[in-house]
Amino acid sequence: MLTGLRASFLAAGGALFILVSVGAKVSGADGPSASVGQEDWSHQLILGDFYQRGEEEECRFFEDRSRRDSDDTYSLNALVDIYLRKLRQTGDLGWLDRASETVRRSLASLPAVANVQAIMLQARVETEFHHFAKARDLAEEFLKQQPADPAGLEVLGDALLELGDYTEAAGTFEKLRAVSAEEELPAEVDTRLAHLAWIRGDEGAAVEDYSRAIARARSMPSGFIEMQAFCLVQLGQLSFERGVWAHAWECYTQALAILPSYYPALDHLAELAAAEGRFSIAIDLYKQLIMRVDRPEFDQMLADLLIYLQRYGEAKPWIDAAERSYSASVDRGLVYNNHNLVSFYCDTDLKPEAAVQVAHRDLENVHSIFAYAGLGWALYRQGDYQGAAQAFDRALVFQTPSAHLYYEAGTAYFRAGQLVKGRDCLQRAYALDPKFSNFHVHR
């Protein structure tokens, strides 16, 4: 049942207003759902404000200390952690550059042998840069000295997941679960188990794990607002991909209620507005997002929406803006945009040969099922249908419940002459999400 949050969602004059209601509840009888309980969301909004203000003061404190003493590795390491948190919260990749430079300073001041925390921080930085093999090696180096440290196991598991070593990643997450008593298990463990469960096709377990993470976050003195917002967006995305839009709206708007600056919730809300046919609202939301977060994928999303609406002239400036930003990252030797760039050249600005080249580059760093799916779609666009089918065989190894994945695979199988497999995949796509034909973005 919908409560006051969706009814209070307004978009006017390019501004977003979330009017917070008391007693809002997430529910959805028709698909993945999780009750997140009766809460006074106005109280949660205040907590979110304090959460952000506290981080700003913390950041200034350690920056002042590091300026007074350039060899203060404690402060430098603290700043790396803060900068990485700000990256997650804001999406501003400038924070990643600052984190990378700061951890370099820390290790230059005190070598890794005596600066073990900097090793772990460097591993986290490499993960954000999508240098997953390097992140794995650094995490393993750290764990030799700190074998039971949860942070090391978290980063190692994340890296293994992106490298396609799903069995090893699962084992690492089980070790992570074992190092803490159940009542002390951090919410971060549940979110990782949730993502792995979804990849392996167990959507029910994923919902349970995200819901458990929310409960654990709320039990912390700070309320762990960012974790709550993250899990709400993930639950909303699971519902969106099943066509259960009412529940997705509840999740996204509640995430924004407790953390108004949380850009992933705004991103998903814009996609959902477009899917529901609220195109002017969606366009306004995407423009707000682009003004706040300088990332090319958001220019691409707006361009995709305008192309969907056959407003090609309006789409062109956003296509150009996305390509400029993607090209700039390629010129810098950065690889974290490769996955999105593949979809850009496949669907937004059709350049099949470039898409295949980028997909192969992506597979040099990422061996996940999604990287193989990207290669498969790029090969399909290029006309190599047999190669596309082979890539999708690898992408579908776990039967991950993604309508987008099954639709692209089915299309490729048909063109490769594998008619039964193509039919089955397309039927599976629409069984997973009966509303798949509506607008959605590639993630």
- CB proximity list for 308: less than 8 A, separation 6 or greater: 274, 439
Among 17, 41, 96, 36, which residue's Cα sits nearest to residue 234? Answer: 36
- Whole-angstrom distance, CA of residue 238 vs CA of residue 244: 9
**Contact status, residue 352 vs residue 381, Cβ threshold 8 Å:** yes
Would you identify the CATH topology of the domain 300-443? 1.25.40
Domain ranges in the chain? 300-443
- Choose between 153 and 177: higher pLDDT: 153
Query: Mapping DSSP to helix (H, G, I), strand (E, B) and coil, where does residue 24 land?
Result: strand
Instruction: Give the pTM.
Output: 0.84
Looking at residues 174-188, what average pLDDT do you find? 78
pLDDT digits (tens, 9 = 90+) for 141-151: 999 999 989 99
How far CA 53 is from CA of 17, 59, 203, 257, in Å, comes to 21, 10, 36, 16
Positive or negative: CA dihedral 268, 272, 275, 277 = negative
Supply the pLDDT for residue 90. 87
Over residues 360-385, mean pLDDT:
97
CA distance 341 to 360: 12
Confidence of residue 96 (pLDDT cuts 50, 70, 90): very high
User: Which residue type sits at 92?
Assistant: D
Q: What is the pLDDT of residues 9-40, one digit of tens each?
A: 333 333 343 333 323 334 333 444 444 333 33
**What sections of 262-311 are H helices per DSSP?**
263-275, 279-292, 296-308
* pLDDT tens, position by position, 312-371: 999 999 999 999 999 999 988 889 999 999 999 999 999 999 999 999 999 999 999 999
Report the pLDDT value the prediction gives residue 181, as an integer from 0 to 100. 63
Q: In this structure, what token pair is assigned to residue 223?
A: 């309320």
> Phi and psi at residue 340, in whole multiples of 5°?
-70, -35
- pLDDT, mean over the chain: 88
